[in-house]
Each structure stands twice: as structure tokens, then as C-alpha cells.
Amino acid sequence: MAKHDLAERAQGLAKEAAELSESLGELAREAAGLAVQTGEPSGGTSPLVMGITVLVLAVFVGYHVVWRVTSAQHSPLMSVANAISSVIIVGALIAAGTGGSGFSEIMGFLAVTLASINIFGGFIVTHRMLAMFKRKQN
Amino acid sequence: MDQNLATLLYLIASVCFILALRGLSHPETSRAGNRYGIAGMAIAVVITLFLLPEMDFITIFGGVVVGGAIGTVVALRIQMTALPQLIAAFHSLVGLAAVFVAVAAFYNPAAYGIGLPGEIGAASLVEMAIGTSIGAITFTGSIIAFAKLQAIMSGKPIVFPLQHWINLGLGLFTLLLIVWLSAAESDMAFWLIVIVSLMLGVLIIIPIGGADMPVVISMLNSYSGWAACGIGFTLQNNLLIVAGALVGSSGAILSYIMCKGMNRSFVSVILGGFGGETAGPAAAGEEGEKSYNQGSAEDAAFLMRNAEKVIIVPGYGFAVAQAQHALREMADLLKAEGVEIKYAVHPVAGRMPGHMNVLLAEANVPYDEVFEMDEINREIAEADVAFVIGANDVTNPSARSDQSSPIYGMPIIDVDKARQVFVVKRSMASGYAGVDNPLFYLDHNMMLLSDAKAMCEKIIKALE
């Protein structure tokens, strides 16, 4: 009887140990997550400021690149811009691929699908438009 | 893959996107531009896949295959006349995708390296909220624009008392919610931001009338870029920030060009309420029924055949009637008789920027026969015939002379200066701006009251 009890207790302990080691792994992962979070800003420029720098420069580039667009090109320009804004798929892939929490993965899958519609649709419809413009120049 | 290498490759993708937009702004380089865009997107997607710690193939490729198939089929099947609706629908998808990505980041922040649930940094939360909010506004705003363009909804502006104050209130409320979210990382605050922004998207677009659609589409194009930009801040990803900013600024420039084409300020377009309301009183003025000359296809065929120079001014009605091929055939017959044909395209003709150029191109109209408004106005007095097909407000002379007219100051194509004018129009109703057009009652104008395509076909028959 006692033996059986002991075995049962040992089993329980083993289970607990396994659980502990699991949560230890989780802790390590958390620590790593925190390190990522807190590590960057110390010393260097914060990511937010870097982001704003990139944003402002990109707005200027966009302005100068698009400013003199001829009116015949307005529609294709807009549809290609629309396809480019679907680069948001980068964020969607991260959510869909990590397989962590179920809900986020579903959101990721939906976002990947929507962005893909846009990428394929946007570039193809632009191509169709431009192909027509091409024909007439001959 | 090494993070630094990935960042450098993302930089290459950003450069590709810049080259894409640059290429698209000139006709000769546009096809190369489209290829740069595709290359940039391919690099972005492949690098991201390599960066993922583990890959759930089924989810990812399932999404790409399903979405890609839908996008391909739609893009191949769509009629060029329905292009504005298609673009509006595409914008709504970008907006919704941005919301989904933000939701995913909110509930699984570790995947994005921005902390753990309940411990997301305040800056990340603010960025996330801004991306979500712009995305949600883009989503519902584009759906309303789509419904108006597809004629599911009336193009008339929907206005009600205190409208702008309500919008302002909701906007301020969103800001408060963002503060709450960044302080407490509350689920409720996050979802309230989503809901209020979805409402704002609807409310911002419903007061804007059909005539202002080219501005609306450009504006939503710009918003979809800023939404991507906001998400880029959340993910600390420069590629998204650059691409979003490029699209955002290009959409803003197009909005500005469209506003200038209508001589309207951006603010007045956003405040909306233009067009639709004044349709009744303007048409039934004090002078009672004004008289106009009604012509037939035979009259038009006879006068155009004997003309030296004919200027064709297409507008939205031409797009709706799918008259591009019939018009081109008519022009070919006239050219065979030695008539010089020129097409004049107003910057806001149609329902999206550049729409007429695409339709004329579809019908194989030679590039060098299509002119912009300023070019054609210089020589329009030498034209024997101005053939206005499905255009109305962009030819209205009261924009030049009548200070009380709602469209006063809008640049127009001066078709009334041609020796003979034909206006192909389904009825004598006023245009989208809801303004009566004195051009119709001029002695040297003849109304050809018919569907644009049917009229072109009748003229072709008369010419043969």
C-alpha cells in the first residue's frame, strides 16, 4: 500500500518538476523579451525617433518623386501605390507564422489573405492598364 | 537570417518602391516602375519569411494562395469602367489588414518583439493605436466610397445638423482612448478605438458628394499609406514606414491635383455637402423652360464629316455607357475622311484621377491624340466641332463668368468657343455638381439626347 502511495507521490513530484522546468523556460523567454524591449533604447537613439527620421525623409522623397506626374498616369500610379501599401503583409506574416496564440494567428491569416488580394490585384490591374498605354504608342 | 542583413535587404525593397513610384510618374518608364514594385514586394515577403523563427506553412501559404487567386481573378476580369470601384475596394482591404495586424500585435506582442501581453511599452501602444485607427477609418471610408461609386448608395451628400461637431467629438474621443490605452493597456480601450474609428470612416465620407469622388479616392489612397506607416512604427520596421510614407504622400499629391482641378480647397471637400442639394432650384429658374436645339445623329455626322478639326471631350457618362470602342470607331471613320481628331481630358473627368486616359487607351486611341485641358484650350477656337460626350460640369461656361455659381472659378474646357458644339447626354438633367449648364442653350450647340454608346453607333451608321 505504502509502496503504491510512494510511487504515486514520486509521479506527482516528477510532474511538478516538469512543470517547473517548463515555466523556467517561459521565464527565460520572458526575460529575453524584456531584454529586447529595454535593451535598445539604452545609450542609442530610441526606435521611435529613428522611425520619425525615416518617415520624414520618406515623405520628402515621395513628394519629389510623384510631384510632376503627368495626368495620363494618375490611375496606374494610384493602383501601384495601392499595391505597395499592401507591404503591410510583412506584419501579417509575422502574426500568421509564429503560431503562438490562436487568435493572433487567425488575425494574421486574415490579414495575409487581404494583403495578398491587394498585391496580386494591384500589380496585375496596373499591368493591364500599362499594357493598353503601350499598344497605342506603336 | 541575420537581422542586420535582413534590414539591409529591406532597404533594397524600399528603394525598389521609390523607383516604382518614380517610374509610374512618366509614361515611358511606367512598365519598368511596375516591375520594380513587384520586385520590392517579393523581396519584402521572402525576407520576412526567412526571419520567422518557425513557419506555419499552411496558414501563410493558405492566405497567399487564396488571396492571390481572388486578386488575380478580379484584376483580370474587371471592366476598366469599374476601375474606381475596384481601387476603392482595394483601399478598404489595406485598411482592414492594418486593423488585423494591430489586433494580432496587441494580443501577441512577443512575436513582434514589443514586449509581452500586459507589458507593451506606452510608445508601442500609441503607435499601434494610430495604425489601428487610420486603418479602420480607411476601411469603412473606402466601403462607403465603393458603395457610392457602384451606385449601391446615392452619390448625393448625406448631411445632418452638427455633423462636423460630431466628427470632431469622435476624433477627440479617439485621442482620449489612445491616452487610456497607453496608460492601462486596456482591451476595452483598444476595441473602443477600433469601433469609434470605424464609425468615423463612415461619417467622414457620407457628406462628400459624387462630384468629389476623385478627391475621395486619392485621399483614401493616402490614408491607406499612413495606416501601413503606423503599423511600421509598431513593428519598428523601416520598410513599412518608407512604403507607407511614399503612398501617403503620393495620395496627398493626387488629392491636391484633383482639388486644384475643381478649384476647391481640400477642407471644403472634406467638409462635404457639395452637389445634389441645389439640383432642383437651379434647373427650374425664373425664366421658365429655356429652349435648346435638339440634333440628330445625321446632323452630327454631316457636320463632323465636313469639319477640319473635331475635339472630343469625354466624361463620366461616356465611361458608364462603355462607349469607348464605339467612339474610337466613329473617330476612325472621321479620320478616314481627313478630319483631324483630338481628345481633351479634364483633370477631374470621370470618377478617379486619370480614368478617361485609361478608357481611351483601352479603346486603342493613340497617345498623341489625347490632350490635357490647358493644351486644348489654346486651340479650341480653331476647332470646327467640339463633341462633348458624357461630360457636363467640366464644360460649364458659368464656371468662368457667373460668380454666384457653385462651380465658379473651376477651370473648364472652353468647348463653347468652338464653332459648333454637340453635347451627347441622356437627358437635360444637371450634372453631379447639381448646376444647370448654360452651354446647352447656346445657339451653336446641339443636344444629342441619347446614351453615349447608342449615339456613337448611330453616328457611325450615318457616316457609313
Residues of A in contact with B244 (CB under 8 A): 85, 87
Q: What is the pLDDT of residues A81-123, one digit of tens each?
A: 999 999 999 999 988 877 655 888 889 999 999 999 999 999 9
Q: How many CB atoms lie within 10 A of CB A108?
A: 32
Interatomic CA distance for residues B56 and A96, integer angstroms = 7
Interatomic CA distance for residues A56 and B138, integer angstroms = 22
The radius of gyration of chain A from alpha carbons, rounded to an integer in Å, stands at 27
Chain-chain contact of A112 with B60 (C-beta, under 8 angstroms)? yes
Inform me whether the C-beta atom of residue B242 falls under 8 Å from chain A C-beta atoms. Answer: yes
Instruction: Name the closest residue on chain B to residue A27, using Cα atoms.
Output: B116
Inform me whether the C-beta atom of residue B227 falls under 8 Å from chain A C-beta atoms. Answer: yes
Instruction: Name the closest residue on chain A to residue B69, using Cα atoms.
Output: A117
Chain-chain contact of B243 with A121 (C-beta, under 8 angstroms)? no
Mutate: best of A36, A63, A117, partner B, most B CBs <10 A:
A117
Show the DSSP H helices in B370-420 as ranges.
373-379, 398-401
Chain-chain contact of B104 with A91 (C-beta, under 8 angstroms)? yes
Residues of A in contact with B228 (CB under 8 A): 85-88
Residues of B in contact with A53 (CB under 8 A): none
Of B133, B366, B246, B236, give the one whose Cα is nearest residue A67: B246
pLDDT tens track of chain B, all 464 residues?
Answer: 788 899 999 999 999 999 999 999 888 889 999 999 999 999 999 999 988 877 777 888 899 999 999 999 999 999 988 999 999 999 999 999 999 999 999 988 888 888 887 788 888 899 999 999 999 999 999 999 999 988 888 878 888 888 888 989 999 999 999 999 988 888 899 999 999 999 999 999 998 877 788 889 999 999 999 999 999 998 889 999 999 999 999 999 999 999 888 888 877 777 766 654 443 344 444 445 678 888 888 889 999 999 999 999 998 888 888 898 999 999 999 999 999 999 999 988 888 888 899 999 888 888 788 998 988 999 999 999 999 998 888 898 988 888 888 788 889 999 999 999 999 988 887 766 667 888 999 989 999 998 999 999 999 999 88
Inform me whether the C-beta atom of residue B121 falls under 8 Å from chain A C-beta atoms. Answer: yes
Enumerate residues 270 to 329 of chain B having a beta carbon within 8 A of any beta carbon in chain A.
none
Chains A, B: CB contacts under 8 A, how many? Answer: 407
Interatomic CA distance for residues B109 and B103, integer angstroms = 10
Chain-chain contact of B123 with A48 (C-beta, under 8 angstroms)? yes
pTM of the model: 0.84
Query: How is residue B290 annotated by DSSP?
Result: P
Whether the complex's predicted ipTM is more than 0.95 is answered with no
**What are the C-alpha distances in Å from B356 to residues A131, B82, B411?**
16, 12, 17
Enumerate residues 39 to 98 of chain B having a beta carbon within 8 A of any beta carbon in chain A.
40-41, 44-45, 48-49, 52-56, 59-60, 62-72, 74-76, 78, 80, 83, 86-87, 90-91, 93-94, 96-98
Inform me whether the C-beta atom of residue B6 falls under 8 Å from chain A C-beta atoms. Answer: no
Chain-chain contact of A87 with B17 (C-beta, under 8 angstroms)? yes
- Residue reference for cell 499592401: A86
* Closest CA–CA distance from residue A39 to any residue of chain B (Å): 11
Instruction: Name the closest residue on chain A to residue B40, using Cα atoms.
Output: A84
Catalytic residues of B: 393
Q: Is the dihedral of CA A95, A101, A107, A110 positive or negative?
A: positive
CB B49 within 8 A of CB A41: no
Of B124, B126, B153, B129, give the one whose Cα is nearest residue B141: B153
**Residue in B221, B227, B229 closest to A78 by CB:** B221
Interatomic CA distance for residues A58 and B390, integer angstroms = 40
Chain-chain contact of B24 with A77 (C-beta, under 8 angstroms)? yes
